[in-house]
Amino acid sequence: MLARLRRIPGVADARVECSGTFFALTLDERANLDVALRAVLDSLGPGSRRLATEEAEGQLAARAGGEIWFSEEQIRGLSYVEGRIITGRVLAAATRGLDVAEPEMDRIREAIRVEVFGAIDLVHDEGGRSSSGWFADEWPHIVTRVRLRLAGVVSEATLAAVAEHLLHLH
């Protein structure tokens, strides 16, 4: 969403607080406030609104008091942290019960990480999604790409078992 907001003419910077509920925008000094605000509200969708003065002051006070308001780059970084956590959990599930040597384990881990990060990057580059449900829809495609990435790199038996385990995580 921050990437989408940053593409709006007149928006110089966009930040989101940790719950993802409130956005703080910095407009270019030449921006037409009404035009930029309408475009922002349209981008955010139904139910979005400009905060009343008291509400805005409260949010800005929280920000000044140390609450983190994330930039687009920081949100992507948080997504990568989540991607690392997903990779670790998925790796454990995908290799459970298998006799996999450390070099193969490293290749499987990296294939999963690369494809999870690729999916994350695509979503960020496109401006986000309205729901985290996109990941469940994308999972079978991630598994297909992991399988292609591992073909010829790990044994066929390991590849088949890992792919089967990954598909059942969905």
Question: Do 97 and 140 belong together in one domain?
Answer: yes
**Token reading at 167:** 């598909």
- How many structural domains comprise the chain? 2
Phi-psi region of 32 (alpha: psi -120 to 50; beta: other; left: phi over 0): beta
Residue 108's domain spans which residues? 72-168
pLDDT tens, 95-120?
Answer: 999 999 999 999 999 999 999 999 99
Question: Do 116 and 87 belong together in one domain?
Answer: yes
Question: Do 58 and 82 belong together in one domain?
Answer: no
Report the alpha-carbon distance of residue 20 to residue 143 in Å, rounded: 29
Last residue of a domain, one of 46, 70, 94: 70
Question: Do 57 and 98 belong together in one domain?
Answer: no
Question: Do 94 and 143 belong together in one domain?
Answer: yes
3-state secondary structure of 84: helix
pLDDT tens, 121-136?
Answer: 999 988 877 777 899 9
Question: Do 45 and 115 belong together in one domain?
Answer: no
